[in-house]
Structure 1
Amino acid sequence: MEELVAELIDHRWGSDAPGQPWLGFEAEGRLHGSDGCNRLMGEWTLTAERVDFGRLVTTMMFCKGVDTWLNGAVSARFVPDASGGRLEVLDAARQIIGVLPRTVSDSGITA
């Protein structure tokens, strides 16, 4: 599991383009990100099968035309691939609601 933690932390998962969702994971078990409009903050834990999110706290701004699917996330699965991996984001029914590719280093970025 240490290897998976190393894969998760200090990277941005998702797009760095304005209006697009992304997540960042910190070694201390905190996460931060955006649904494309609102900032997200919360906690994460790692199991053998997935990354489980604690309750996500968000700002409540209205942004016309932004799909806020990331607000329904309760966990994610890391899927390794040639481009560095991706997270399949899951809802409470363990259904995939979106995919966040690993994109850029997230060192120093905070929520």
Structure 2
Amino acid sequence: MGAEGEPYLSFAPDGTLSGYDGCNDVNGRWTQDPDGHITFSEVSLTATVCDGVDTWLSKGRSVTIADDFLYINGAAGSPIGGLPPSP
């Protein structure tokens, strides 16, 4: 979990994911293919409107892990942002 108010994603062993985009809670499911590619499904989020908050994380549909950094990919498959590992 990130610092208070900071975006984060958490991946549970049962295939669920939860997180926070700086404004809304993000929930869904995740799967990992044999090559390590992680995709999201059944993504939902709360519908809070927050002025001045970039809610890029809620647009994520997959992730790529490289150099201990989590790159969040949008619907087109290209990175839209990233998250460092939790301390």
Give the TM-score, by structure 1 length. 0.72
The answer to whether structure 1 residue 39 and structure 2 residue 25 are counterparts is: yes
In 1, the alpha carbon distance for the partners of 2:53 and 2:74 equals 19
Show structure 1 runs of 5+ residues with no match.
Answer: 1-11, 105-111
Deviations 1:73-92 (A, max 9, x none): 11001113xxxx11111011
Deviations 1:5-42 (A, max 9, x none): xxxxxxx4xxx233321100000000000011100110
The answer to whether structure 1 residue 78 and structure 2 residue 61 are counterparts is: no
In 2, the alpha carbon distance for the partners of 1:17 and 1:27 equals 23
The answer to whether structure 1 residue 26 and structure 2 residue 12 are counterparts is: yes
Match of 1:93 among 69, 72, 76: 76
In 1, the alpha carbon distance for the partners of 2:10 and 2:69 equals 13
Higher share of residues assigned strand: 2
CA RMSD of aligned residues (A): 1.2
Show structure 2 runs of 5+ residues with no match.
Answer: none
Q: 8 Å contact 1:34–1:40 — kept in the other structure?
A: yes
Question: Structure 1 runs of 4+ off > 4 angstroms?
Answer: none
In 2, the alpha carbon distance for the partners of 1:92 and 1:26 equals 22
- Percentage of matched positions with identical amino acids: 37
Higher share of residues assigned helix: 1
Give the TM-score, by structure 2 length. 0.90
Q: 8 Å contact 1:19–1:66 — kept in the other structure?
A: no
